Structure 1
Amino acid sequence: MESSPFSIAEWRAINLAAQGLLAPPADVAACVRQLGYVQIDSIQVAARAHQHVLHSRMADFTPAALDQALAHKRIFEYWSHAAAYLPMDDYRFSLPRKLALRGGDRHWFEKDSREMQRVLERIRAEGPLKAADFESKGHTSGPWWDWKPAKKALEQLFMEGELMVVRRDGFQKVFDLTERVLPDGISAEPPTPAEYARHLIRGYLKAHGHGSAKSICYLRSGIKTEVSAMLNEMRLAGELERFRHQGEEVYFSPSLTVPELPDKVWLLNPFDNLLIQRGRLKQWFDFDYQIEVYVPEEKRRFGYYCLAVLWRDRFVGRLDVKAERDKGLLRLKRLTLEPCAYDDDGNLLGFIEPMAQAINEFCRFNGLSRWKLEAASNATLKRHFSRQVWV
């Protein structure tokens, strides 16, 4: 087995560059293409996750730019490991899941073919519709397992590929027939297993710079054999090289170079592409991260909605945030620092000013005019940011 050509720190820098954090992508579609997907999430403690992920890579990002990319059919909504925006050019690689669901695989609930046909006929006749356009007498809104029949039918038709999302009204999906949404020139030919495996490998390495079969297959069942075989085929053909790290074979392109890192702090969303694979994050960044939204309040260690604080190539802290829009205030409920935030003598390293700049940018992005740090694990830091800051 070949030895690693780079140090751990250099691999981290390569990962950050591949994630689009060091040089802003040209636009929303280019960013989604670089990352492979951007996860959609409904939690709105501050800006929604998908908007925040894009902002972390493009300082001038606006939610309108995301809407435009969807309207111009440069991206589309479907399922990656979760609900996500995907590059339109990758449409055909969404087909294996769609065909499996059409063939009998179950998504969330039993499908109602009669209701699906009724919904489909209405959209065919009337044009784009959302769940609220379908009346359901005596049915009130509830959790996903208690959705009204039309909403279940819409989601099933969407997951099977009969419908696509044309836009969102608020956060509600508006659906139309796939045949009316899919742009000309986009292939609808299902990939072979080998093509699909190669697509996953190329996409993952483009987005991360390096990866193992396990990380490439993250939350995708039944494909590891094909991915492992394709990795070996690509290595033998000279397309990839490999080395062993912590018991895993790690693959990468031989054309990789190590980028320079700016003296910058990023406040990353809990659903950010860099954070989402917790095992990989621990392995390469030595950062043990868990979002505590789903943890009972009495068991939370760091806070309900903690952003990960990345300084250069190290995660130096966690910042629990809450946007109070009626007050124009970003509450920094608690900043908890990691051991790597300190030098050998226990002094804070020099990330305070880049940290303040990152908070200012995040505050402006959320449309807020001021922020205040309410608590911190470090007294020096708390004193430094003791006053309310206007941006």
Structure 2
Amino acid sequence: MAQRLDSLSIADARALALAAQGFDTARPKTKATQRHVDALISRLGVIQIDSVNVLVRSQELPLFSRLGNHNRNAIPKATEQQKLFEYWGHEAAHLPVEIHPLFRWKMEAARLGKAKHWGLTGFYNDNKAFVKRMLKHVEKNGPTTSRELSTRTEKKGTWWDWDEAKVA
């Protein structure tokens, strides 16, 4: 029978918190392989996407902090291999395809305009022609950054100053 645990020492609590986040094992001694990356993503369950990239793209930081040297294209490669998909989990995120079914209700609600993702549904409803032009461009030209699609004429502001192309 398992023993009841009434308290944890500070050291045990710290160790538990670090282990839960994947910091309980040493980094690989050599460059991490795609297998290391896949295992880490499976363990973490999510890699949040953030547009802030002072050092590197934010989604690369969890990989580096836990694996060290790794292929910088590991996340796109996992997505290409259909191991990951991008979606609004809690935030914009790379998620393991195994949990895709858990989000289908949310995807359907968004498709029907019944769920709002940071006002994206409202933006779409107000800018359908623009969004459709952006979609046609991506369908014709393949993966495209929002910067390549930008229609901004004025100087970019601070923080979350997204133009229409980035929202679309």
Alignment TM-score, normalising by the size of structure 2: 0.66
- The residue that corresponds to 1:128 in the other structure is 142
Aligned partners of 1:95, 1:67: CA distance in 2, in Å?
22
- Give matches, 1:237-316, under 5 Å: none
Partners of 1:56 and 1:135 in 2: CA distance = 33
Q: In structure 2, what residue type is equivalent to 1:22?
A: D
Gap runs ≥5 in structure 1: 154-391
Q: How does 1:119-268 map to 2 (within 5 A)?
A: 119-121=134-136, 123-124=138-139, 126=140, 128-130=142-144, 131=146, 134=149, 136=151, 139-140=152-153, 142=156, 143-144=161-162, 146-148=163-165, 151-153=166-168
- Which has more radius of gyration? 1
**Structure 1 runs, 4 residues or longer, greater than 6 Å off:** none
Contact 2:150 2:164 (C-alpha < 8 Å) held by counterparts: no
**2: CA distance between counterparts of 1:16 and 1:135?**
40
CA–CA separation in structure 2 for the residues paired with 1:60 and 1:95: 35
User: Following the alignment from structure 1 to structure 2, what is the Cα–Cα distance between the partners of residues 46 and 132?
Assistant: 19
- After superposition, the Cα gap between the structure-2 partners of 1:4 and 1:135, relative to the gap in structure 1 and judged at 3 Å, is closer
From 64, 69, 90, give the equivalent of 2:78: 69
Report how far residue 21 of structure 1 moved: 0.9
Would you say the 8 A contact 1:29–1:87 is kept in 2? no
2:31 counterpart of 1:17: no
Query: Normalising to structure 1: TM-score of the pair?
Result: 0.32
2:128 aligned residue: 113
The alignment of Structure 1 onto Structure 2 pairs a total of residues equal to 146
Counterparts of residues 364-379 of structure 1 (less than 5 Å):
none
Note closer, same or farther for the CA distance 1:84–1:118 as it changes in structure 2 (3 Å cut).
same
Identify unmatched segments of 5+ residues in structure 2.
Answer: 29-34
Which structure carries more helix by proportion? 2
Cα 1:147–1:54 shift into 2, 3 Å: same
Q: Is the counterpart of residue 29 in structure 1 residue 38 in structure 2?
A: yes
For the aligned residue pairs, the C-alpha RMSD in angstroms reads 3.1
Q: Which has the higher strand share?
A: 1
Q: Does 1:49 align with 2:49?
A: no
Give the whole-Å Cα distance in 2 for the aligned partners of 1:42 and 1:152: 12
